[in-house]
Amino acid sequence: MTAPDTTPGDPGILLVLDGWGHAPPAADNAVDAASTPVLDELTGRYPSTQADASGEAVGLLPGTVGNSEIGHMVIGAGRPLPYDSLLVQQHIDSGELRENPRLVSLLDALAVRGGALHLVGLCSDGQIHANVGHLSELLAAAAARRVPRVWIHAITDGRDVADGTAETYLTQVTELAAAAGTGAIAGVIGRGYAMDKAGNLDLTDRAVHLVADAEGTEANTAAEAADASDRGDEWVDPSVLRDAPGARIADGDGLVWFNFRSDRIQQLADRLLEHLAATARTVDTLSLAQYDTRADIPALVQRADASGGLADELTAAGVRSVRIAEAEKFEHVTYYINGRDSTARSVEEHVRITGPGAPDYKARPEMNLDQVTDAVLDAAARPEVDLVIANLANIDVVGHTGDYAATVKACEHTDAAVARIATAAAESGRWLLLVGDHGNAEKMTKQAPDGTSRPYGGHTTHPVPLVVVPANKEATATLPQRATLADVAPTVLHLLGHKPGSAMTGRPLL
């Protein structure tokens, strides 16, 4: 590493290109296929490296794909944070989960009063929202405590795993139940309904009525229900199984949510609990990990402390930042990057960009990127703003459609936005740090459990590009050959003229 010739202490722009991963050229690499002259030039001309954004480097289990929550949390924290999926697995491996006093007391109470246990969650091993393996631990605990009936309300995926795999996972659920000696699938529903997070309560209510009231299309088997969907696994219609009579939630039953990630299950959790209360059903409820619900749902595994990150350092130093993103990623540049901390900070401004109507990402891969870019340019032009933090969502959000051609376009729109932002950075004397939060669009196919290669819109374990365009355009510093997302906050603080926070283990890359 040569001596840095960047002058620390300049204002800057931190730009997270969501889902911007790096992989060698391949037929399914949309990032490589896209024409991105500006990103290519910045990466080739200025200090750049690749940053680990998956697995242990960010606080996930080894080999686990990155995700937006842990990605932004580690970018903000400046250190890997043991993520909820890792903590749950540790509690399972140590036997703590099965002996968790909250779980034991719920299961014992159900055994005494003859109540049923309802388990609700996403049934796949995508490891972003849930891991179906966690279900077997809950089933084993219920069997050990002799809970008389256990109903599994299965949410199908097709987003964090290849589409068309729901049947395989539902078969796995049935096998897990058989191995545990308890549990049967009561109903099946796609995550498009059950895990809406955009406030579409008509979708959520389909899931509420399936789980609480056993209302849905009748199917003979879970596989038949999944197979009937003509919109893929994400949109399996609410289906009740014929051999699951009495699977509605009754007064005195128990409910355990087994997604470990909150953002896409909290809307359903709140709505379902409100419906149960409104229909005079008292149901003891637990969640595997902590949820950001309005209702206070006791969690089996507590979150890791994420304090002492970038937001705390910026606040202490009085550094003014503006946070900008589309609705889809707004929490990521505010709540998650701040360490899942919703404290209002007077040195922060938040700009949430929304567009008209229901988004059709395949048809509009540009999303609302022009407005995001306009907002970045506005903020960059204000001398009192020390730091602009923005998320460009397109590469990830369009990537999730699994549509290769649309994702190539999303990368190209992103390149055009970066061109405008890089020009504005130069004009306002700002450095510009570009980084992905996890891979996505650089790999658009995946091998399904049955061995076939299928279109895939989910995340990857690839590293992400990291580029620093210094405020001094002639700077020739080189970055270490490899970095991690934990190095971003120390580097940002360094560029702003501050030391890394004492809680940070990442290092300034310059």
Ligand X SMILES: O=C(O)[C@H](O)COP(=O)(O)O
- Catalytically annotated residues: 68
Measured from each CB, the residue nearest to ligand X is: 68
**How far apart are alpha carbons 346 and 209 in whole angstroms?**
42
Q: What is the token pair recorded at 316?
A: 């202490």
* 160 lies in the binding site for ligand X (CB under 6 A): yes
119, 128, 272, 479: which one binds ligand X (CB under 6 A): 128
Does 482 belong to an annotated binding site?
no
* 159 lies in the binding site for ligand X (CB under 6 A): yes
Measuring CA to CA, how many Å separate 285 from each of 71, 119, 320, 420? 29, 10, 41, 49
Does 160 belong to an annotated binding site?
yes
Does 153 belong to an annotated binding site?
no
Distance between alpha carbon 384 and the CA centroid of its chain, in Å? 32
Angle of helix 404-427 relative to helix 37-45, nearest 10 degrees, comes to: 50
* 67 lies in the binding site for ligand X (CB under 6 A): yes
CB of 128 to ligand X, least distance (A): 5
Pick one of ligand X, Mn ion, none as the site partner of residue 128 (Cβ within 5 to 8 A by kind): ligand X
User: Is the torsion defined by CA of 495, 369, 318, 436 positive or negative?
Assistant: negative
Considering only 158-166, 266-274, 350-358, 391-399, which stretch makes contact with Mn ion by CB under 5 A? Answer: 391-399
264, 271, 364, 443: which one binds ligand X (CB under 6 A): 264
288 contacts 71 by C-beta, under 8 angstroms: no
φ/ψ bin of 56: left (φ > 0), alpha (ψ from -120 to 50), beta (otherwise): alpha
H/E stretch holding 212: helix 201-213
Measuring CA to CA, how many Å separate 463 from each of 52, 63, 388, 460? 5, 12, 24, 9
Does 191 belong to an annotated binding site?
yes
* 160 lies in the binding site for Mn ion (CB under 5 A): no
464-469 and 48-52: which strand pairing? antiparallel
Which amino acid is residue 432, in one-letter code? L
* 18 lies in the binding site for Mn ion (CB under 5 A): yes
* 167 lies in the binding site for Mn ion (CB under 5 A): no
CB of 456 to ligand X, least distance (A): 12
Nearer to ligand X, 248 or 443 (CB): 443
428 contacts 361 by C-beta, under 8 angstroms: no
**How far apart are alpha carbons 500 and 444 in whole angstroms?**
36
Residue located via tokens 């399914």: 28
48, 68, 124, 373: which one binds Mn ion (CB under 5 A): 68
Nearer to ligand X, 74 or 116 (CB): 74
Question: Which residues in 234-273 contact Mn ion (CB under 5 A)?
Answer: none
Nearer to ligand X, 174 or 229 (CB): 229
12 contacts 472 by C-beta, under 8 angstroms: no
Question: Which residues in 366-405 contact ligand X (CB under 6 A)?
Answer: 396, 400
Considering only 34-42, 61-69, 143-151, 287-295, which stretch makes contact with ligand X by CB under 6 A? Answer: 61-69
**How far apart are alpha carbons 146 and 54 in whole angstroms?**
39
Q: For 3, which DSSP code?
A: P
Distance between alpha carbon 335 and the CA centroid of its chain, in Å? 13
CB of 289 to ligand X, least distance (A): 15
Pick one of Mn ion, ligand X, none as the site partner of residue 160 (Cβ within 5 to 8 A by kind): ligand X
CA dihedral 54, 58, 60, 65 (to 10 degrees): -20
* 91 lies in the binding site for ligand X (CB under 6 A): no
CB of 305 to ligand X, least distance (A): 21
CB of 179 to Mn ion, least distance (A): 32
CB of 215 to ligand X, least distance (A): 26
Considering only 62-70, 245-253, 349-357, 467-475, which stretch makes contact with ligand X by CB under 6 A? Answer: 62-70
In sequence order, the β-bridge partners of residue 468 are 433
CB of 410 to Mn ion, least distance (A): 12
* 84 lies in the binding site for ligand X (CB under 6 A): no
224 contacts 237 by C-beta, under 8 angstroms: no
CB of 388 to ligand X, least distance (A): 21
Strand stretches in 9-71, DSSP E: 12-17, 48-52
* 413 lies in the binding site for ligand X (CB under 6 A): no
445-447 and 116-122: which strand pairing? unpaired
68, 266, 267, 491: which one binds ligand X (CB under 6 A): 68
Q: For 130, which DSSP code?
A: -
User: Is the torsion defined by CA of 232, 131, 87, 274 positive or negative?
Assistant: positive
234, 396, 442, 487: which one binds Mn ion (CB under 5 A): 396
Q: What 3-state DSSP class applies to 494?
A: helix
The binding site consists of 18, 68, 129, 159-160, 191, 197, 261-264, 329, 396, 400, 437-438, 459
Binding residue positions for Mn(2+):
18, 68, 396, 400, 437-438, 459
The residues of the shown chain that bind Mn ion, judged by CB under 5 A, are 18, 68, 396, 437
Residues of this chain that interact with ligand X (CB under 6 A) are 67-69, 128-129, 159-160, 264, 396, 400
Q: Which residues are annotated as a binding site for substrate?
A: 129, 159-160, 191, 197, 261-264, 329
